[in-house]
Chains A and B, each alone.
Chain A
Amino acid sequence: DTAVSQTPKYLVTQMGNDKSIKCEQNLGHDTMYWYKQDSKKFLKIMFSYNNKELIINETVPNRFSPKSPDKAHLNLHINSLELGDSAVYFCASSQDGTAGYYGYTFGSGTRLTVV
Protein backbone atom coordinates (compact mmCIF):
# COMPACT_ATOMS: atom_id res chain seq x y z
CA ASP A 1 0.00 0.00 0.00
CA THR A 2 1.27 3.43 -0.94
CA ALA A 3 1.65 5.57 2.19
CA VAL A 4 1.24 8.98 0.53
CA SER A 5 -0.33 8.92 -2.91
CA GLN A 6 -0.77 11.80 -5.31
CA THR A 7 -2.79 12.03 -8.48
CA PRO A 8 -2.18 12.71 -11.24
CA LYS A 9 1.50 11.88 -11.64
CA TYR A 10 1.79 14.11 -14.72
CA LEU A 11 -0.32 17.09 -15.65
CA VAL A 12 0.08 19.10 -18.85
CA THR A 13 -2.25 22.03 -19.27
CA GLN A 14 -2.57 25.39 -20.96
CA MET A 15 -2.07 28.78 -19.38
CA GLY A 16 -5.19 30.15 -17.76
CA ASN A 17 -6.69 26.78 -16.93
CA ASP A 18 -7.71 25.62 -13.46
CA LYS A 19 -6.43 22.29 -12.19
CA SER A 20 -6.37 20.21 -9.02
CA ILE A 21 -3.90 17.77 -7.55
CA LYS A 22 -5.10 15.26 -5.01
CA CYS A 23 -3.19 13.75 -2.10
CA GLU A 24 -4.13 11.00 0.30
CA GLN A 25 -2.19 9.41 3.14
CA ASN A 26 -3.03 6.15 4.88
CA LEU A 27 -0.52 6.53 7.71
CA GLY A 28 -2.88 8.07 10.22
CA HIS A 29 -0.73 11.20 10.35
CA ASP A 30 -2.27 14.41 11.59
CA THR A 31 -0.25 16.84 9.49
CA MET A 32 0.04 17.18 5.72
CA TYR A 33 2.05 19.52 3.53
CA TRP A 34 2.46 20.75 -0.01
CA TYR A 35 5.94 21.45 -1.32
CA LYS A 36 7.00 22.86 -4.68
CA GLN A 37 10.23 21.68 -6.30
CA ASP A 38 11.48 23.93 -9.06
CA SER A 39 13.60 23.06 -12.07
CA LYS A 40 16.75 23.44 -9.97
CA LYS A 41 15.41 20.92 -7.45
CA PHE A 42 14.89 23.58 -4.76
CA LEU A 43 12.15 22.53 -2.33
CA LYS A 44 9.86 25.21 -0.93
CA ILE A 45 7.07 24.73 1.58
CA MET A 46 3.72 26.02 0.39
CA PHE A 47 1.12 24.91 2.90
CA SER A 48 0.71 22.82 5.99
CA TYR A 49 -2.49 21.45 7.48
CA ASN A 50 -2.86 19.89 10.90
CA ASN A 51 -6.00 17.83 11.33
CA LYS A 52 -7.81 19.78 8.59
CA GLU A 53 -6.70 23.16 9.92
CA LEU A 54 -4.34 25.41 7.96
CA ILE A 55 -1.23 26.11 10.04
CA ILE A 56 1.32 27.22 7.47
CA ASN A 57 0.65 29.39 4.47
CA GLU A 58 3.87 30.62 2.97
CA THR A 59 4.10 33.38 0.43
CA VAL A 60 2.14 31.66 -2.27
CA PRO A 61 -0.13 33.39 -4.82
CA ASN A 62 -3.75 33.19 -3.82
CA ARG A 63 -4.38 31.34 -7.07
CA PHE A 64 -3.24 28.33 -5.04
CA SER A 65 -5.85 27.06 -2.63
CA PRO A 66 -5.42 23.97 -0.48
CA LYS A 67 -8.41 22.03 0.72
CA SER A 68 -8.47 19.36 3.41
CA PRO A 69 -11.80 17.51 3.60
CA ASP A 70 -10.41 15.25 6.32
CA LYS A 71 -7.05 14.66 7.89
CA ALA A 72 -6.15 11.95 5.39
CA HIS A 73 -6.59 14.20 2.35
CA LEU A 74 -5.01 17.44 1.26
CA ASN A 75 -5.81 18.66 -2.24
CA LEU A 76 -4.28 21.56 -4.09
CA HIS A 77 -6.34 23.63 -6.49
CA ILE A 78 -4.64 26.09 -8.81
CA ASN A 79 -6.55 28.78 -10.68
CA SER A 80 -5.45 30.64 -13.79
CA LEU A 81 -2.30 28.62 -14.30
CA GLU A 82 0.84 30.47 -15.38
CA LEU A 83 4.03 29.28 -17.06
CA GLY A 84 5.93 29.83 -13.83
CA ASP A 85 3.75 27.31 -12.04
CA SER A 86 5.49 24.53 -13.93
CA ALA A 87 7.23 22.43 -11.30
CA VAL A 88 6.97 19.19 -9.39
CA TYR A 89 4.54 19.39 -6.49
CA PHE A 90 5.05 17.07 -3.56
CA CYS A 91 2.58 16.17 -0.90
CA ALA A 92 3.99 15.00 2.44
CA SER A 93 2.73 13.98 5.83
CA SER A 94 4.23 13.75 9.28
CA GLN A 95 3.32 12.00 12.48
CA ASP A 96 3.94 15.08 14.57
CA GLY A 97 2.64 18.54 13.88
CA THR A 98 5.95 20.01 12.94
CA ALA A 99 7.79 17.22 11.11
CA GLY A 100 10.51 17.93 13.59
CA TYR A 101 10.92 14.60 15.23
CA TYR A 102 9.71 11.95 12.85
CA GLY A 103 10.47 13.61 9.56
CA TYR A 104 8.27 13.55 6.50
CA THR A 105 6.78 10.86 4.32
CA PHE A 106 6.60 12.21 0.79
CA GLY A 107 4.40 11.29 -2.12
CA SER A 108 5.99 10.56 -5.48
CA GLY A 109 5.16 13.98 -6.87
CA THR A 110 3.02 15.55 -9.57
CA ARG A 111 4.90 17.03 -12.50
CA LEU A 112 2.91 20.04 -13.68
CA THR A 113 3.75 21.51 -17.06
CA VAL A 114 1.99 24.67 -18.15
CA VAL A 115 2.19 25.40 -21.87
Chain B
Amino acid sequence: AQSVAQPEDQVNVAEGNPLTVKCTYSVSGNPYLFWYVQYPNRGLQFLLKYITGDNLVKGSYGFEAEFNKSQTSFHLKKPSALVSDSALYFCAVRAPASGGSYIPTFGRGTSLIVHP
Protein backbone atom coordinates (compact mmCIF):
# COMPACT_ATOMS: atom_id res chain seq x y z
CA ALA B 1 0.00 0.00 0.00
CA GLN B 2 1.17 3.50 -0.65
CA SER B 3 1.10 6.21 1.95
CA VAL B 4 2.34 9.71 2.52
CA ALA B 5 3.01 11.58 5.74
CA GLN B 6 3.18 15.28 6.36
CA PRO B 7 4.48 15.41 9.92
CA GLU B 8 3.63 19.05 10.57
CA ASP B 9 0.06 20.29 10.75
CA GLN B 10 1.30 23.85 10.59
CA VAL B 11 4.47 25.66 9.61
CA ASN B 12 5.10 29.25 10.59
CA VAL B 13 7.71 31.37 8.87
CA ALA B 14 8.51 35.04 8.61
CA GLU B 15 8.23 36.74 5.25
CA GLY B 16 11.56 36.72 3.44
CA ASN B 17 12.82 33.64 5.27
CA PRO B 18 13.24 30.28 3.59
CA LEU B 19 10.47 27.76 4.09
CA THR B 20 10.31 23.98 4.12
CA VAL B 21 7.20 21.82 4.19
CA LYS B 22 8.04 18.20 4.89
CA CYS B 23 6.74 15.07 3.19
CA THR B 24 7.74 11.44 3.49
CA TYR B 25 6.26 8.58 1.54
CA SER B 26 5.99 4.84 1.31
CA VAL B 27 5.41 3.05 -1.99
CA SER B 28 6.59 -0.02 -3.84
CA GLY B 29 8.99 0.89 -6.58
CA ASN B 30 9.96 4.32 -7.81
CA PRO B 31 7.35 6.87 -6.78
CA TYR B 32 5.55 9.57 -8.64
CA LEU B 33 5.44 12.52 -6.22
CA PHE B 34 3.38 15.68 -6.33
CA TRP B 35 2.80 18.88 -4.41
CA TYR B 36 -0.47 20.78 -4.53
CA VAL B 37 -1.51 24.04 -2.89
CA GLN B 38 -4.99 24.93 -1.69
CA TYR B 39 -5.91 28.54 -1.03
CA PRO B 40 -8.95 29.26 1.16
CA ASN B 41 -12.24 28.26 -0.46
CA ARG B 42 -10.45 27.09 -3.59
CA GLY B 43 -9.61 23.80 -5.20
CA LEU B 44 -6.15 22.32 -5.13
CA GLN B 45 -3.64 23.65 -7.62
CA PHE B 46 -0.78 21.60 -9.00
CA LEU B 47 2.63 22.97 -7.96
CA LEU B 48 5.20 20.46 -9.12
CA LYS B 49 5.96 16.79 -9.60
CA TYR B 50 8.81 14.34 -9.56
CA ILE B 51 8.67 11.38 -11.92
CA THR B 52 12.29 10.72 -12.82
CA GLY B 53 15.52 12.58 -13.48
CA ASP B 54 17.01 15.43 -11.47
CA ASN B 55 16.21 15.11 -7.79
CA LEU B 56 15.54 18.84 -7.51
CA VAL B 57 12.38 19.84 -9.31
CA LYS B 58 11.16 23.37 -9.79
CA GLY B 59 7.54 24.35 -9.92
CA SER B 60 5.13 27.24 -9.85
CA TYR B 61 5.45 30.41 -7.75
CA GLY B 62 9.14 29.85 -7.03
CA PHE B 63 8.65 26.58 -5.20
CA GLU B 64 10.95 23.62 -5.55
CA ALA B 65 11.14 20.17 -4.03
CA GLU B 66 13.93 17.72 -3.48
CA PHE B 67 13.46 14.01 -3.95
CA ASN B 68 15.56 11.96 -1.55
CA LYS B 69 15.24 8.26 -2.22
CA SER B 70 17.25 7.08 0.77
CA GLN B 71 15.15 9.12 3.16
CA THR B 72 11.94 8.55 1.17
CA SER B 73 11.26 12.26 1.37
CA PHE B 74 10.03 14.96 -0.98
CA HIS B 75 10.22 18.21 0.96
CA LEU B 76 8.82 21.41 -0.52
CA LYS B 77 11.02 24.48 -0.31
CA LYS B 78 11.14 28.12 -1.22
CA PRO B 79 14.14 30.41 -0.66
CA SER B 80 12.12 33.46 0.37
CA ALA B 81 8.57 33.18 1.67
CA LEU B 82 5.80 35.62 0.80
CA VAL B 83 2.68 36.36 2.83
CA SER B 84 0.70 35.28 -0.23
CA ASP B 85 2.23 31.78 0.08
CA SER B 86 0.04 31.21 3.15
CA ALA B 87 -2.15 28.25 2.22
CA LEU B 88 -2.65 24.54 2.75
CA TYR B 89 -0.07 22.32 1.05
CA PHE B 90 -0.65 18.71 0.09
CA CYS B 91 1.92 16.11 -0.83
CA ALA B 92 0.77 13.12 -2.90
CA VAL B 93 2.38 9.87 -3.99
CA ARG B 94 1.52 7.33 -6.63
CA ALA B 95 3.04 3.98 -7.40
CA PRO B 96 4.80 3.53 -10.73
CA ALA B 97 2.90 2.04 -13.64
CA SER B 98 4.27 -1.39 -12.88
CA GLY B 99 2.19 -1.88 -9.77
CA GLY B 100 0.24 -0.47 -6.90
CA SER B 101 -2.61 1.94 -6.93
CA TYR B 102 -2.75 4.27 -9.87
CA ILE B 103 -4.65 6.83 -7.87
CA PRO B 104 -2.44 9.22 -5.91
CA THR B 105 -2.66 9.11 -2.14
CA PHE B 106 -2.70 12.53 -0.53
CA GLY B 107 -1.17 13.55 2.75
CA ARG B 108 -3.29 15.29 5.36
CA GLY B 109 -1.99 18.70 4.42
CA THR B 110 0.26 21.25 6.10
CA SER B 111 -0.95 24.74 6.79
CA LEU B 112 1.74 27.27 5.92
CA ILE B 113 1.46 30.63 7.63
CA VAL B 114 3.82 33.37 6.52
CA HIS B 115 3.96 36.32 8.91
CA PRO B 116 4.67 39.84 7.64
Task: State the A residues within 8 Å of B (CB).
Answer: 4, 33, 40-43, 45, 48, 56, 90, 92, 97-101, 103-109
Q: Which residues of B contact A106 (CB under 8 A)?
A: 36, 43-45
Q: What secondary structure prevails in chain A residues at the interface with B?
A: loop
Q: How far is the CA of A1 from the CA of B41 in the complex (A)?
A: 19
- Contact status B108-A107, CB under 8 Å: no
Chain B residue at smallest Cβ distance from A111: B41
Q: Which of B11-19, B62-70, B72-80, B96-104 touches A? A: B96-104
User: What is the distance, in angstroms, from A35's C-beta to the closest C-beta of chain B?
Assistant: 8
Task: State the B residues within 8 Å of A (CB).
Answer: 32, 34, 36, 38, 41-46, 49, 51, 88, 90, 94, 96-97, 102-104, 106, 108-109
- Contact status A98-B44, CB under 8 Å: no
- Contact status B108-A41, CB under 8 Å: yes
- Contact status A101-B51, CB under 8 Å: yes
User: What is the distance, in angstroms, from A3's C-beta to the closest C-beta of chain B?
Assistant: 10
Chain A residue at smallest Cβ distance from B103: A45
